[in-house]
Amino acid sequence: MTYTHHLKIAAAFLTGTVLWSLGSHSQTIPHGFWKKQNSTPAAPITIQIISTDATWDVPADWNNSNNKVECIGGGGGGGTGNASSPFQSGGGGGGGAYTYANNVTLTPGGTISVTIGLGGTSGNNGGDSIFKDTSTVVAKGGTAGGNSGASGSGGAVGSSVPAANAKAGGHGGAGGGGLGGAGGGGGAAGPDSAGGNGGNGNGGSNGAGGGGGGGNCSTCTGGNGGATTGGAGATSGNNGGSGGKGSDQFTINGGAGNSGTNFGGSMGSGGGGGGSAGGQNTAGKTAGNWGGGGGGGGSSGAAGGGGIAKKGYCQVTYTPL
């Protein structure tokens, strides 16, 4: 279209609109079009879930296109010492597995089920941590140590969902036979690494206990128990919890596993508890938060209880709409 007359442009703000006049032609444009838009993205929100069984309220501003759900399974309890011949000490419990899922679809403002896997007590497996349902996120719990010295297994990758994103919990250490030392607990897995394995108890009579494995660090393994000196607890790596020291011969001076901080604050992948010395009917040491495996118990004709493992954990991070 060709205009032969001078172009006239007039602007007037009328009830939230801008009226443009172009000769005899005009168009009304919403005032919001001209407003400066806020370009600052919303900050991510992190929610930590540690209640054992919960109905979780989905936030009203939940974003199905920008979220991450992470979970750790519960650790397995340490095995009890065998009260009858051959008086074998218990194996350490396995640490819980870790896995995550991105962009989980939920109904904003709705509710879902979340289960945080329990830590195993003496001789009991750790529970699975489940977010929404078993096809969405499952972090497998570790298995308990055996009273015949068998080591507990870390939570398995293949039993976690999504398995492609999972990392295995550390295995517990084996208990020594014939009044030998108990095994240390395995560390929980984390976002950076599988958990570290616990150390084995010494197989000699009245041998020392194995050290606990580290959380979120596959190379942070507990030391094996010596004839008289307990195995060293694994050092901390990737901000996971360090493992507890194994008990020295004829003592109960082993250490509990330590809590991880790899999720921030006091939240992280726990280290395994130290194993008891042989010839002592004392309990293995407790694991660290979250998901560490308990140390094995000793034996001297009466069974020492396995160390208590720690429950799992879930964390949700999303960018609000």
Reported as type and span, the H/E element at residue 57 is strand 53-57
Instruction: Please report the pLDDT score of residue 10 as a whole number.
Output: 35
Instruction: Please report the pLDDT score of residue 87 as a whole number.
Output: 86
Quote the pTM value.
0.87
**Cβ within 8 Å of residue 43, ≥6 positions away:** 319
Q: How many CB atoms lie within 10 A of CB 102?
A: 11
d(Cα 189, Cα 70) in Å, to the nearest integer?
Answer: 11
- Checking phi first, is residue 242 left (phi over 0); if not, alpha (psi -120 to 50) or beta? beta
Instruction: Please report the pLDDT score of residue 25 as a whole number.
Output: 45
Instruction: Please report the pLDDT score of residue 37 as a whole number.
Output: 54
Instruction: Please report the pLDDT score of residue 16 as a whole number.
Output: 38
d(Cα 272, Cα 172) in Å, to the nearest integer?
Answer: 8
Instruction: Please report the pLDDT score of residue 187 as a whole number.
Output: 98
Instruction: Please report the pLDDT score of residue 68 as a whole number.
Output: 98
Instruction: Please report the pLDDT score of residue 38 as a whole number.
Output: 56
Low-confidence ranges of the chain (pLDDT < 50): 1-29, 31-36
Instruction: Please report the pLDDT score of residue 206 as a whole number.
Output: 94
Burial of residue 1 (number of CB atoms within 10 Å: 0-12, 13-18, 19+): exposed
> Which tokens go with 300?
């001297």
Instruction: Please report the pLDDT score of residue 183 as a whole number.
Output: 97
